[in-house]
Amino acid sequence: MGLGKSWTSSGEWALNLLHLLAVAAIAACLYVSLPEWQGRSRSRSLLLVPPVLAFICAYIMIGFVTLENREPGLLRAALAAGLVLGIIRGFFIKAEIDNYGLVRLPGMRDGLLVTVAITATMAAAILAPLVIEQAAAWVPYATSLAGLGATYLLGRAVVVYLRTRS
């Protein structure tokens, strides 16, 4: 059984500490992404926090997958594709730097969409097996999607960080 699989003595699926960590990680990711979505300025180093939290979410989701159901090839491909797409997107982002060295990314909605997608896949990976036991077979695909989103955010943030160095 994977870390995310917690069965009660009556044979039913139950929540455990890994589920709570997943919810805390995605809530933190959503919270630290708010300034970008609102178009507010923030320090360059804070651009790297949402991708790190998204990686924590993806890593926690790996724990929801049993060893025999893991799809390592799919996960590797998703991580590579997300990184390439994020790096490409990072070059096309218009970043504004104010007098204090704070960065503002006006009109950026792709970070919002990716973070919401990671949130939705995590919610599906946590809740679906609680309702339907067969839904646990889809968790490796949700994990790959979360990994794609995390590496997209990382590639994008690193390129913007490097481009806005003074």
Domain boundaries, given as residue ranges, for the chain: 17-163
Q: Report whether 166 contacts 95 (CB < 8 A).
A: no
Q: What local confidence, expressed as pLDDT, does residue 10 receive?
A: 43
Residue 1 in this model has a pLDDT that exceeds 70: no
End-to-end, the C-alpha distance of the chain in Å comes to 50
| Full-model pTM | 0.84
What are the φ/ψ torsions at residue 9 (nearest 5 degrees)?
-65, -20
pLDDT in tens, 54-88: 888 888 888 777 777 778 899 999 999 999 999 99
| Structural tokens at position 71 | 């799809």
SS3 at position 165:
coil
